[in-house]
Each structure stands twice: as structure tokens, then as C-alpha cells.
Structure 1
Amino acid sequence: MTTSARGKIALVGAGEYLPIMAVVDKALLADLEDTPQVVVIPTAAVPDGPATTERWAKMGVDHFSQLGVHVEPLMLRTREDANSTHIVTKLAGANFVYFSGGKPHYLLETLKDTLAWEAIKNIFGRGGVVAGCSAGAMVMGGVIFRFPQFWQTQPALGLVPDIAVIPHFNELPATLSQAIDRIDVKETVVGIDAATALVWGNNAWTVQGHGTITVFQEPKKAQYNAGQHVALAPLTS
């Protein structure tokens, strides 16, 4: 017998830590049962160098500090970090984890099959929030696309096993977004606009933010606006 998954997931198309996303993040924080303990993780930015990684960490700390909650940067840079006692202990004390954007394949290879990823799944399992923007959203699905070769995929982290995420969807060239109709993958393809989040919580998927969610699901695609429920498979545990 399966039961509805307890925690919340927020998959953001773009715009993490910007004022435009504050309303979405406030709502996620408000639903926590305990005092918010947020960690921001800039792992996806590591290939762009330490200055970029530190900048994303600072942006995350500034953003959540302005929302009035306790927040720490978690400088998880390598697979060695992802299996370290220090990192896992920090995650064990958190109830809200946020992955900022960058290089999705680096983030995926750094996290998969690690103690850190197990700790993050435990946050979700005990009612916490797992949020990811752009690259951070992509790795949460069942597969990840090898841009720009949409026809090539590899297994992702599978927190949301039945979907494949395309962030920045409203920023894609028209020819690219039209080509998605022809992608042959078993997962449902979900395009998430900038400043928009696809959120799982209260046993439903909903759109939050300022843009739309586009779902490519046979036999047709559908678009959903802020506040609407999205016709995707429910998460179970």
C-alpha cells in the first residue's frame, strides 16, 4: 500500500533568490511544521569557478535572511563532500534545502548514490521542502536531457520519477520548444517558465509564480497558469 508523500517539492524554471520569487518561497516556508532551517546549495555552479559558487551561496543566504528565517550555505562541491560526515550532519538538521542553478550534469554526478542525497530524500520524507531551480529542478526528474541533443537522456535523481524537466521554458527559441512534441521518452516532459514553480504539496501539483507550466503528455500538450492544479501523477511513499 502506498501513501501520499509528506513533504513539498518546488521545481523552479529560473529566478532563484530574486524578489519576484519571494512570495513562492514564503508560502513554502509557511507550510513547514517546525521552525525553518534552510540550507542553500550552489553545487551546480562549481564548474563556473569559486567566485560564482560563492556568489550563488551569498544570494541564497541574503534572500532567505530577508524572509526572516535561519539559513546557511552548504558548500557541497564534490562527491567527497557529498559523502562527508559534516555535510550529512548539516542536512540532518535542515528541513528546507534549495539547489540553485548551473550545470545540471555536474550536479547530478556529484549527488547520485551519495549519503548527502539520501539525507535530502529524508528531509522530504519527514515533511520538509526540497527546492531546485533550473539545473536544480532538472536533476529531480526521472531523466535529464543532454542539451541541445533532446533525444539523448540519462537517468536523473528520480525524486519525481515520472517527469523530465525543461527550465527557462519561455526563454527557449520557438523551434526548440516545438521540437519537444517529437521527443520519444516515456517520462512526461514538463516545461517550466522563468519566475515560475511547479509545486508538490497537499497531495497535488500546482503552479505558483508568474508564468506558466507546459506539460507534454500524449495525446496533446497542456498549459497551466498560476494557481491551477497540474495533471501529473501524484507522488507516493
Structure 2
Amino acid sequence: MLAIIGSGEYLEPMTAVDRELLDLFDTPANVVCLPTAAGREGDAMVDDWMHRGVDHFNRLGAHAEPIRVWDRATADDPDLADRIAAADLVYLSGGKPSYLYDTLVDTRAWQAISDVIDRGGLLAGCSAGAMIQGELFAGVPRSHGGFALWPGCHILPHFDEIPPPVVSAMRVAIGRDRTLIGVDGDTALLNSNGTYRVIGRRVTIWTRSDKTEFGPGEIPADAILAPA
């Protein structure tokens, strides 16, 4: 299972969204909160992201713990990877998407996250944590490859904050052969075993031929998986 979230991780407006994600599990979920995308922002910020996540999910009835993966060394730490692998829900909070990808790729931590997904757990990523799940994401100075968990897709979080002319320019820049998925703040797009559901406000799907807005509820799989 996969969830891409536009913005607002660990804040009160996300409570209903995260409750719905936790309801995917029959028993209280074991949640791990990774602050990796903020790894260049200093120890205080890394610790703040971890503890905000743990406090948020514990309030919602989960069993949450922080995993201090912030650089390549910690991403390859076998003990931390084992703790990730034991989770039901892995949550990647926001920061720098290129740093997040480059820190996780080809590491024990990413293998542990993949193992969680493969056995039916959930990877939820907000902002940068959403962007790296696509096949491509916007980077500096050029676009950056992602983990392609959403094949053929380019994920744009904070979609409700981006001016339409900028979105149109990005649509051109990423190429017409990819599907653009725009996720508003306080919103998740969930892929649960091939069933897609919007939780929160709005998701915009822009293929080669159509640009469609979806409110809360299930959306057709072919809206995303059809050829771009």
C-alpha cells in the first residue's frame, strides 16, 4: 500500500486523513517516522520532525517510534533497518526530495521500506516523501529520477499552492508521456492493492488527454494507469 500526501504532516488538519490510514489495519499499527528529508537542516530540526510524528500518531492510538535515519550511514545501519522492517506504516516527512532519494537509494533502510510494502504494510510520504515515490520529480537544476512506485507518474505535492501558469509550465517540462498527479494540502491519494482513494480535499490527475479533479472517495484505476 502507498499513500502520497500533499502537505500538512503531523498537523491537526491531517487527523482525519491519518485516522483513515490507520483504519487500514485491524489492530493498532506500528508506525515509524523517518525525518530523512530534513537531514541537512540540523539536529534540532531532525529531532523535531521525529518527535512531532511520534506524538501525532500516538495520539491517534498507534504505536509510533522515531527512526533517526538522516544520512547514508544511518540509512545503512542494520539495527535501524530492522526497526523499519518491523513496522506496519512507514512515514516519510517533508524536506528536500533529492536529498531524501539520494540518502535512501540502495540502502538497508530502503530495502526495509520495500519489505514493509511487499508484505502489505503502508508507505506514506508527505511532500518530499510523496515526490520520491514517482518515476520522476522536479529537482535542481534538472528533474531527478524517483523510486517509480507510481510508474509513469510525476507527483506534485502542495498542488493547491502552485499558481496555474507554473503548473502548466511544469506539465510541459516533464513531458506529455507522464501522468502528473497533483495532491492538495491535507490530502492523501491512497493506492491500496490497486484500489485508489482520495482522502481529504482534492487530487488532480493530468494525463496526455485529460485533466481531471477528484474529491474524496474512490477513483478509477485507469485514471492513473491509462497510457499518459
Same fold (TM over 0.5): yes
Shift, 1:220, TM fit = 2.2
Distance 2:171 2:110 in 1: 32
Quick check: 1:97–1:129 contact (8 Å CA) kept in 2?
yes
SS in 1 for 2:150: coil
Distance 1:41 1:18 in 2: 16
- The residue aligned with 1:233 is 225
- The residue aligned with 2:190 is 199
Which structure 2 residue ranges, 5 or more long, are not aligned?
none
- The residue aligned with 2:106 is 113
- The residue aligned with 1:85 is 78
1:218 aligns with 2:211: no
Distance 2:104 2:68 in 1: 13
Note closer, same or farther for the CA distance 1:139–1:35 as it changes in structure 2 (3 Å cut): same
Alignment root-mean-square deviation, CA: 1.7
Shift, 1:202, TM fit = 4.6
Off by >6 Å, runs of 4+ in structure 1: none
| Aligned with residue 131 of structure 1, among 124, 135, 139 | 124
Aligned residues: 223
- The residue aligned with 1:169 is 159
Shift, 1:161, TM fit = 2.3
- The residue aligned with 2:199 is 208
**What whole-Å deviation, never above 9, does each CA across 1:14-69 have from its counterpart, x for those lacking one?**
00111211122112212124541110001111111111111111110110010011
Matches within 5 A, 1:1-237: 8-146=1-139, 152-183=142-173, 184=175, 186-209=177-200, 211-230=201-220, 231-233=223-225
The amino acid that maps onto 1:233 is L
Shift, 1:159, TM fit = 1.9
What TM-score do the two structures reach when normalised by structure 1?
A: 0.89
Distance 2:164 2:199 in 1: 24
Q: Which has the higher contact order (CA 8 A, sep 6+)?
A: 1
- The residue aligned with 1:5 is none
Quick check: 2:30–2:87 contact (8 Å CA) kept in 1?
yes
The amino acid that maps onto 1:177 is V
Quick check: 2:34–2:67 contact (8 Å CA) kept in 1?
yes
Give identity over the alignment, percent.
38
**What whole-Å deviation, never above 9, does each CA across 1:170-229 have from its counterpart, x for those lacking one?**
1012320222342315321111111111111153111111x2111110112111111141
What TM-score do the two structures reach when normalised by structure 2?
A: 0.92
